[in-house]
Amino acid sequence: MPNSPATAEGPVISVRGVVKKYGNMRALDGVDADVSRGEVVVVIGPSGSGKSTFIRCLNGLERVDGGRVTIDGMPISTRRDWQVARRRIGMVFQDYSLFPHMTVMSNICLAPVRARVGTRAETEERAMEMLERVGLAHKANDFPAALSGGQQQRVAIVRALAMKPEAILFDEPTSALDPETIGEVLAVMKELAREGMTMVVVTHEMGFAREVADRVVFMDKGRIVEIGPPEVIFTSPREDRTKAFLEMIF
């Protein structure tokens, strides 16, 4: 059960010794991490460090070659396990990935109605409220092609939320956006964080990490180099590799 008292206190997502190989290359080389309920974890690191692979392992888009992933205390391994677990772990992609042949409303309501998260009427009502909050209620009946990148990404966030997930994964949600629209997406994410949504965010937005993260994970070469609160990671990192990376980007 998703909210049974026995598991509610443990981490929502827990990974131990996770390995992901592409041929001989180890994209993830023994990663351990926990994400607690209501926590915002921001993952940073150079490109090719494995941060996207890491977040994709948290909802089974990449199947791990070693180690284990636990959602709400339950080990997840088979395809079927993942299909069930994904109802509780939402995901927002870099390229939004809205279904281009469906209106904004259908994009949001299709999955929750199918998965019986709520009736159609309830789901549409909630979708409208959420669209209102992200300032896109007037776009409910438009197709994605009629929306800007920032608008599409806000719809994608609402689509993930409509499943009433316990956690949402964000894989570089602002990397494909024009600079002037990044802010509107980050604002929605900040509000979500304030409301206590459990979030794992891969991003290059260091301002967001500093302001919103409970913990920052620095990854390099498929491993977690350092985990800590943002004020520690950004001002006095322990590891030399973290220092080198931060010096490069600031």
Partner 1 sequence: MNYAFSFVYIVENLPVLFDGFMVTVRVSVISIAIASLIGIAGAAVRLLKVPVLSQVVGAYVHFIRSTPLLPQIFFIFYGLASVGLPISSFWAGVFALSLWGGAYNVENVRGGFLSISKGLHEAADSLAFGPLHYLWLVAVPLGVRVSLPSMLNTSVSVLKNSAYLQAIGLAELTFVAMDKVSLEFRTLEMFAAIGVMYLVLVLALSIAVRRLENVLQKPFRP
Nearer to partner 1, 163 or 193 (CB): 163
Looking up tokens 């159609």, which residue turns up?
A: 120
Q: Does 102 bind partner 1 (CB under 8 A)?
A: yes
Q: Does 143 bind partner 1 (CB under 8 A)?
A: yes
What tokens were used for 192? 């979500």
Q: What is the dihedral of CA 90, 96, 100, 106, to 10 degrees?
A: 40
User: Looking only at residues 181 through 240 of this chain, which bind partner 1 when binding is defined by CB under 8 A?
Assistant: none
- The residue within the footprint of partner 1, chosen from 18, 33, 76, 91 (CB under 8 A), is 91
* Per rule CB under 8 A, count of chain residues that contact partner 1: 30
Site mask for partner 1 (CB under 8 A), range 30-59, x = bound: -----------------------------x
- The residue within the footprint of partner 1, chosen from 97, 228, 232, 243 (CB under 8 A), is 97
C-alpha R_g of the chain: 18
| Helix/strand/coil percent split, the chain, to 5 | 40, 25, 35
Nearer to partner 1, 107 or 242 (CB): 107
What angle do helix axes 179-194 and 149-161 make, rounded to 10 degrees?
A: 20
What angle do helix axes 104-114 and 120-133 make, rounded to 10 degrees?
A: 140
Within a 10 A sphere around the Cβ of 179, how many other Cβ atoms?
A: 7
Q: Does 164 bind partner 1 (CB under 8 A)?
A: no
By the criterion CB under 8 A, which residues form the site for partner 1? 59-61, 83-84, 86-87, 89-91, 93, 95, 97-103, 110-111, 114-115, 143-146, 159-160, 163
